[in-house]
Structure formats: structure tokens, C-alpha cells
Structure 1
Amino acid sequence: MTQIFAHRGYSASFAENTMGAFVEAEKAGADGIELDVQLTKDGEIVVIHDETVDRTTSGTGFVKDFLLKDLLKLNANKKGVKKEPIPTLSEVLEWLKTNKLICNIELKNGLFSYEGMEQKVIQLVRTYGLTNRIILSSFNHYSIVYSYRLAPEIETAPLFIEGIYMPWIYAQSIKAKGIHPNHSAVSDEIIVRTMANGIAVRPYTVNKDTDMHRLFKINCTSFITDDPVKALRIRKLYQKRP
């Protein structure tokens, strides 16, 4: 059965990458969540997508230029009534101990290298005993390889924007157990062949009904969506079939 991952939490209806969005994704019945991590000026791991805080919070500037204590003063729920801080990764992992969700942590180190981020993330995941429920992904494939070398017990998955020839061969070559392609850059045949070669396929960001139907029909491993409620409703149609 195709698993449903809530992209930055239940971000279609709640402020992305906030505890509120993660909690609502779990309440909705998602199988997992996807989130993004970066480092503060004082080397703390925080959950935020953009390299700057401008779009998603009440502040302005680069995440890397804030101390954690100053970053936590910002409101990450600009459109909502209730103020929500940017979560730390520790806070999210602590909460994950209370449920059974899988968590895809995307290392946002394409623009800034964030030296030591892989070690810090892995150390936290191990501290919370969640190595078997975490997938580390990144568009920076050097970071993915490095993460595997540091922690072969934690699943890794490279992110792709464009099509890659025989992606299962590439995944196997870097010891990744999955791939996270842009859903429009990967055909049904490639998805099926990749899975047949033992590599999980979790396309992103799948929000249209037609795209969801397409992936459920071929029993894709999982997909990442802003709207887990819609995805769960459509998945039920396939669960009822003989």
C-alpha cells in the first residue's frame, strides 16, 4: 500500500514546518512527515525550508545568521491567529517518540554547506532511538553519501529535480535505499523498474488528484504531498478494490 508523507507537515492547511502542521498530519492519518533542517549561527538544528526566514516567518535574514534564542522569538505562523515558533529538530524527534510516523529529514545544504550538519542530525536521531524511522534526503548527493558513511543504519535517499537514467543503478552505487524524484520527471515504467530493483520511490510534491491516482495505480512506495487528507481519501478508493 502506497504510503503518504505530509510535505512540511499538513502544509495545505497549516503553517509549514511547524509543530502544528506535524501534529495535524498525524491526526489526519498520514504515514509520515517530511521536513527540512538548517543550522543556526550557534550550530543548533532548526526545522525550516528556505535559507532565509522572510517568506515563512515574521523576521528577515538568513537562518545561519540568527542565534537560536533569537530565531525562536519569530512567528512561523504568519497567516494564522496562533503564534508558532520555528521548531528545533530535537522538539520534533521528542514528539515522534509519542507516535509511529516515519520522518523524512531533508538536509538543506545546497546553498550553504552547514559544516557538521550531518553529524549533528545523526547524533540526535541516534540519541532519540529513531534510526529505523528516519530517511535522510538531500539535493546535495555528496551529503547523502557522507551521511551513509557516518550512519549506514539510517536510510538515505537522493532528491532529483530532473530525470536520471536507470536511477536504481545510481541509488545502489551510493548505497541509498530510496530515491525522491520530482513526480513529473519520472515515468510509471521507471518507478516500477526502480522498485523491482529493491529501491523505494517517493515522488514529491504530489497535490493533484490525477497524479495521486497515477501513483496509487502502480502501487508506488510512497509520495510526498501538501494535502495528506486528500491523499488518504483517494487511497481509500484503492483499498476497497479486490
Structure 2
Amino acid sequence: MKTCFIAHRGYSGKFQQNTEEAFLEAVKHGSGGIETDVRFTKDGVLIVNHNDTVEYFDGTELVPEESTYEQLIQKPIKNEHTDTELYVCTFQRYLEICRDGNMICFIEFKGNFTDEMINKAFTMAGEIYDLKMCSLQSFEYDNLIRTHKAFPELQIMYTCGERDANVERCLEDGFDIDMYYGNVDEKTVKDFHDKGLKVALWTANTKEAMEFCYSMNVDYIESDYFANEKCE
């Protein structure tokens, strides 16, 4: 089985995470896919940002859900890696980059999304790219259930730190998992593969971690640094 490398928040080991620059560089770097974190602004624009706040170059912060898109792009965000002037990246731009680079999209919802938000996000993904190239990820199981109901053709993946009760639910519901690599074991991988389900591991950033993930024969490995295979 060929393992697919997913660029965690883009090529974030070398470029500022969840930015246009990090996404474009992930394509160049040879990743098979790109993971990102999706949030809504106060006025309903889908943006990508991991933390609860957007951090700017001058040390100030804004909460996306309490700010309009125009407010969020008034100044450059923090860039710890390069001299490039970067701004908040939209979900639309992420999708365009993934489409142009033929990337798998690992789309993580941050927090609870309403049915309207879910519909907007994946209607956009289908219009700009292809839902067959997209996967929803979330720590919130309710997000998975409601998204699967609205978009039954979409790959659904539960994000978790360890094998908890929701992992068992995934086996029953037919959902894939995205687990912290340090807590996975051969039995978990076998249980999912025996049901035709897929396993992703996050986040392998050392040679030792990468070798371990390979030894587990999983379907996807997320990394801030490593990327040398394309998805088939």
C-alpha cells in the first residue's frame, strides 16, 4: 500500500502555517495533499486559521468569529519564517491552490459548525474543486454526522488523540480516523482496514516518527516537513 503525505497546514515547517505561501510551497515540495483549519468570520466568509485568534505582525490579535473579513485583512499577519508580507488566507484560495496542484484536501472544521456553515463550505468545495478530493476532519463528532448526512459522498474522518469511544463509533458509522501517531497501534489500524476504512496519522516531524508511521502501514501521514509521494 502506498502512503500519501499530507502537508500539515501547508509546508508549515518552513513557511507560515495556513497561508497562501505555505500551501503553494506544499505543492512544490511534493505533498500529496494539504491539511487546513477552517473558520467563519462574523460576516460569513470562510477563512483558514488554526488558533482561536488571528495573530498579526504587530502583536495584535483578532477573533475571526467576532470580526468581519475586511477587518481581518487590514494588516499583515505574523510571519515567523520568511520576509513575505502575508495576509489571512480564504478557504476559497486554499481550494484553488489544491485544485491547481491536484492535492487531496484535508479540511478540519474548528469548533461546531451549523448546518448552514457546513452546506456553504462543501458546496464551495464542490464548485471550485471536487468533493471526491476532499475530506472533512473534526474533533467534534456532531460535525461529522451532520456533514455526512448533507454530503454522503464526502470522505469523513474523525480527528482524535487516542482510541476513545468515538473511534469505536467510527467503525460502526463507516468513518475514517486521523489519530495522533504516538497513540496508534497495529490493532487499531487492522480494525479499520478490515472494514475498508482509512487511517491517517498526525503529526510526524522527525525521522523516527516517520519510520514508525510507515511501519503501521497507514493510508496518510501528516507532517510539517516531510513530503515525497503523491496520492494515487
TM-score scaled by length of structure 2: 0.90
Q: Which residues in structure 2 correspond to 1:195-206 (within 5 Å)?
A: 195-206=193-204
SS of residue in 2 equivalent to 1:35 = strand
Residue 77 of structure 1: how far off its partner (Å): 4.2
The aligned residue for residue 222 of structure 1 is: 220
Distance 1:197 1:213 in 2: 25
The aligned residue for residue 240 of structure 1 is: none
| Cα distance, 1:151–1:114 mapped onto 2, change above 3 Å | closer
CA RMSD of aligned residues (A): 2.1
Is the Cα–Cα contact under 8 Å of residues 38 and 46 in structure 1 kept in the other structure? yes
Count, aligned residues: 227
Measured against aligned partners, the alpha-carbon deviations of 1:186-213 in whole angstroms (never above 9, x if no partner) come to 1123223322221100011111211211
The aligned residue for residue 87 of structure 1 is: 89
The aligned residue for residue 189 of structure 2 is: 191
Distance 2:174 2:74 in 1: 40
The aligned residue for residue 128 of structure 2 is: 128
Distance 2:131 2:45 in 1: 20
Higher relative contact order (CA 8 A, sep 6+): 2
Letter in 1 for 2:41: T
Aligned-residue identity in percent: 24
Q: Which runs of 5+ in 2 are unaligned?
A: none
TM-score scaled by length of structure 1: 0.86
Measured against aligned partners, the alpha-carbon deviations of 1:128-173 in whole angstroms (never above 9, x if no partner) come to 2410100001001101110000101111101112223694x52143
| Cα distance, 1:57–1:174 mapped onto 2, change above 3 Å | farther
| Cα distance, 1:56–1:115 mapped onto 2, change above 3 Å | farther
Letter in 1 for 2:207: D
Letter in 1 for 2:195: N
Residue 56 of structure 1: how far off its partner (Å): 8.3
The aligned residue for residue 239 of structure 1 is: none
Is the Cα–Cα contact under 8 Å of residues 11 and 226 in structure 1 kept in the other structure? yes
Distance 1:223 1:32 in 2: 10
Distance 1:205 1:166 in 2: 20
Q: Which moved more, 1:8-17 or 1:91-100?
A: 91-100
SS of residue in 1 equivalent to 2:75 = coil
| Cα distance, 1:57–1:198 mapped onto 2, change above 3 Å | farther
Distance 2:213 2:165 in 1: 20
Distance 2:185 2:75 in 1: 41
Distance 1:136 1:56 in 2: 30
Is the Cα–Cα contact under 8 Å of residues 201 and 220 in structure 2 kept in the other structure? yes
Q: Which runs of 4+ in 1 moved over 6 A?
A: none
1:104 lines up with 2:106 in the alignment: yes
1:181 lines up with 2:182 in the alignment: no
Distance 1:206 1:212 in 2: 5
Is the Cα–Cα contact under 8 Å of residues 105 and 135 in structure 1 kept in the other structure? yes
Letter in 2 for 1:124: M
Distance 2:90 2:58 in 1: 15
The aligned residue for residue 158 of structure 1 is: 158
Letter in 2 for 1:66: S
1:171 lines up with 2:173 in the alignment: no
Distance 2:56 2:108 in 1: 19
The aligned residue for residue 48 of structure 1 is: 49
Distance 1:55 1:165 in 2: 38
